[in-house]
Amino acid sequence: MKLREEIKNPEPRDLSEVLKDCHDLVDDLRSKLKKKCDEVLDLRKEIDRLQEYANNLEVIEKSHQELNGQLQKQIDEFVRSPRRSTDDV
């Protein structure tokens, strides 16, 4: 029983040619891998930047809510105050 077909070499080649082709292929794959790694690093930097931006927005929103609450308390106290002079207005 034959498990594999015999590999037919379309053209006989010298071992040095085969090695050169292999080296060229490895070089090509290395350059593609480096390019993809650089893309991944750039995307990670962008993700970090966007996360920091989102965190800053959360801090700003929280501070805004606190200030709004304090301002509302002052407005309520002013409105409820029975003694208001003309200087308060």
Euclidean distance between CA atoms 57 and 55, whole angstroms: 5
* CA angle (59, 61, 62) in 5-degree steps: 65
Q: Helix or strand or coil: residue 68?
A: helix
The residue-averaged pLDDT of 74-87 equals 76
Handedness of CA 39, 43, 49, 50 (dihedral sign): positive
For 72, half-sphere exposure in the C-beta direction (CA atoms, 13 angstrom radius) is 6
- Give 4-61 pLDDT, tens digit per residue: 666 666 677 788 998 999 999 999 999 999 999 999 999 999 999 999 999 999 999 9
**pLDDT score for 49:** 98
Residue 79 has a pLDDT of 85
pLDDT band at 2 (very low <50, low <70, confident <90, very high): low
Global confidence as pTM = 0.58
Residues 50, 19: Cα–Cα separation, whole Å: 46
